[in-house]
Amino acid sequence: MNKKLLVAAASLALITGCKMENPLLTESPLPYGAPQFDKIKNEHYLPAFETAIAQAKAEIDAIVANTQEPTFENTIEALEFSGRTLDRVSSIFFNIMEADTDDEKQQIAEQVSPMLTDYSTYVSLNAPLFEKVKAVYMKKETLGLDKTQERLLEQHYKSFVRGGANLSDEDKAVYAELSKELSMTTLQFSKNVLAATNAYTLNVTDSTQLEGLPDYMMVLGKETAQEKGLEGWAYTLDYPSYGPFMKYCNSRDLRKQMWIAYNSKAVDGENSNLDIVKKIVDLRIRISNLLGYETYADYALEDRMAKDKKTVNDFIAELLVPSMPYALADVKAVKDYAVRNGFAASEEFMPWDFSFWSERYQEAEYSLNAEQLKPYFKLENCIDAVFDLANRLYGITFEPLDNVPVYHKDVKVYDVKDEDGSHLALFYADFFPRASKRGGAWMTEFRGQSIIDGVEYRPFISIVTNFTKPTADTPSLITHDEFTTFLHEFGHALHGILAQGTYPSMTGTSVARDFVELPSQIMENWGYEKEYLNTFARDYRTGEPIPGELVDKIIAAKNYLAGYSQVRQLHFGYLDMAWHTLTSVPQEGTVEFEKAVLAPYAVLPSVQGAAISPAFGHIFSGGYSAGYYSYKWAEVLEADGFSLFKEKGIFNKEVSTSFRKNILEKGDSEDPAILYRNFRGHDPQPKALMEKLGLTK
């Protein structure tokens, strides 16, 4: 080891030596090295970040200081495995931030975000480091690398170029400042959405105003009011409260209040994101221009399956244009039904009417409603059923663990084992809403899969949802829609659990954004298969299996409002691309820009003061900027892919093994288009989705 390396190592020893009591930095004694959630406190995070960043920088400095000729091993692999401690600290902190935040964590996030951006630019704008990477890249043909190693080299080289390595020193400084500002601004966006969500409560003291709500919603409202110190009943913008309220409350006035509150989150007031949206867009344009791209979409799409904005816009149009007549017909059918059943024909049919009357229409058309199904979807039974599906498809099992701590009492943890009994992963499940958790559902990981110095590290995978909590006299009963959401996130989880590979940046869900939704969306299909539903759906009160005619109704109603739902989802993708194909920030306001973009494809009246963008976390604080189209892109893949299961059998081991080997295990080891062809035998076509949704008649 040369002198510079010895100095770096000695400095690192001093840094880490004074922090040994920090559970984020010490080796975990728990099974498989699980996070020590029982010991981690807020006070540990900032020192852990400071130490981990210093360690990561020392590892980068060691690569740069190495006087040997740059090789794949001493440069590319060394870079790939650098910053492991920082990855661990970041994964734990930011995942807890999403699932169980508090004011102190949010303050810590504001402190560490610029630190992390500084570190990121310390790497990406490190000229001597880039020269070493470039030196290896330029002789790649002579190195005898396998396909995965070639791809890793290619991606590291491209990440430097895309991260500003070829910029002048002056432009590098500008890039670093813009990146730091963008990091802080997206953090503020997310913080405002959560605050705006928690700031609203609908408090009702007259029970007659709540006619139509099912019993469990009355109990939920009463319990929420008691928690908030209010009289009567209280309902929030958390989806398990908001969604059923909009479907079942007879009071049009209360539905209107709730709808406007939900759809004007972060529009105005102290939590407004109107200016922040434009600031994020501006920063992304400036960064993209600096890197040589006309728009942010040009930059973002370069390493995705779609490759460019024309392909994405053509793809959206190919689905949106033929879907519009079906969407308009869906809205007309619901309104006509409403008018036949008491809705005034002279009244404008508004968004807060659609959810309510579409539920009534579904009940009439298919003799089916969400509440009718919930007794058959007790959460505990659904958990067992999802685990059983994974077992039937992939031979894996889930064993509950009581000796691994969790970050909240509601979280459950399982040891996932393969068919041969070997350990695959730890699986954390966090199902219920709380004020400290953001809305929605997602999969994430506390540690990804990798092999370092011959030692394999298996992943720690987590899914987080906001399902209805059990009440004093009713277990947690989820809707069929929530069950398919469970399957969706579990599909992501399987992508992480079954990962096989060496390099952490290329395993599990570390794939192109428009490919990552294939494993999740294909899982939803089983939620509509009689052969599967019959294995577990039982009335929690009597134990009686779900009646066959009810399953037939679920299947028959599968494409209910398919046109409307398709257009709604494409709206989000269309809006995302509108924001991220701009070459300059629009003069008009955020709300006005959004309304102008969406007006040609509106199927319900626009409401003043309502807007999607100020709370559109997927694209303004999540990872889907210029990528929301990915959901529909992956739907095309899964529609085509699941047809093979339908052809061979939904539990066919040959097909599921192929899906595991060619998709779930492969991560980003090959181009996703090749991986898909290896599984399916051909490229997918959008018509597969249109046919699946019944939008081709």
Instruction: Quickly list H helices, 341-378.
Output: 351-366, 370-373
Q: What distance in Å separates the CA atoms of residue 177 and residue 174, rounded to the nearest whole number?
A: 5
Show the tokens assigned to 593.
């820009």
Q: What distance in Å separates the CA atoms of residue 639 and residue 622, rounded to the nearest whole number?
A: 26
Show the tokens assigned to 224.
């929420």
Other Cβ atoms within 10 Å of 672 Cβ, number = 20
Q: What distance in Å separates the CA atoms of residue 656 and residue 639, rounded to the nearest whole number?
A: 15
Strand pairing category for 460-464 and 423-430: parallel
Spacing of C-alpha 34 from chain mean position: 23
Say whether 80 is catalytic: no
Instruction: Quickly list H helices, 265-308.
Output: 274-290, 296-301
Looking up tokens 């579990």 gives: 490
DSSP state letters, 41-84: -HHHHHHHHHHHHHHHHHHHHHHHH--SPP-IIIIIIHHHTTTH
Show the tokens assigned to 288.
């993209």
Q: What distance in Å separates the CA atoms of residue 665 and residue 507, rounded to the nearest whole number?
A: 8
DSSP state letters, 118-143: HHHHHHHT-HHHHHHHHHHHHTGGGS
Contacts from 405-413 at CB under 8 Å and sequence distance 24+?
Answer: 405/30, 405/34, 405/35, 405/36, 405/37, 405/38, 405/39, 406/37, 407/37, 407/40, 407/96, 407/99, 407/100, 408/99, 408/100, 408/434, 410/434, 413/34
For residue 460, the cross-strand partners are 426, 447
Whole-number CA gyration radius for the chain:
26
How does DSSP classify residue 660? I
Q: Reduce the DSSP state of residue 157 to 3 states and report it.
A: helix
Contact 632, 692 (CB under 8 A): no
Q: What distance in Å separates the CA atoms of residue 489 and residue 520, rounded to the nearest whole number?
A: 6
Contact 646, 529 (CB under 8 A): no
Q: Reduce the DSSP state of residue 170 to 3 states and report it.
A: helix
Contact 331, 354 (CB under 8 A): yes
Q: What distance in Å separates the CA atoms of residue 664 and residue 493, rounded to the nearest whole number?
A: 10
Cα torsion 334, 335, 337, 343: sign: positive
How does DSSP classify residue 695? -
Q: What distance in Å separates the CA atoms of residue 513 and residue 507, rounded to the nearest whole number?
A: 14
Q: What distance in Å separates the CA atoms of residue 672 and residue 76, rounded to the nearest whole number?
A: 22
Q: What distance in Å separates the CA atoms of residue 686 and residue 314, rounded to the nearest whole number?
A: 11
Q: What distance in Å separates the CA atoms of residue 73 and residue 77, rounded to the nearest whole number?
A: 5
Residue of 98, 489, 524, 635 marked catalytic: 489
Residues catalogued as catalytic: 489
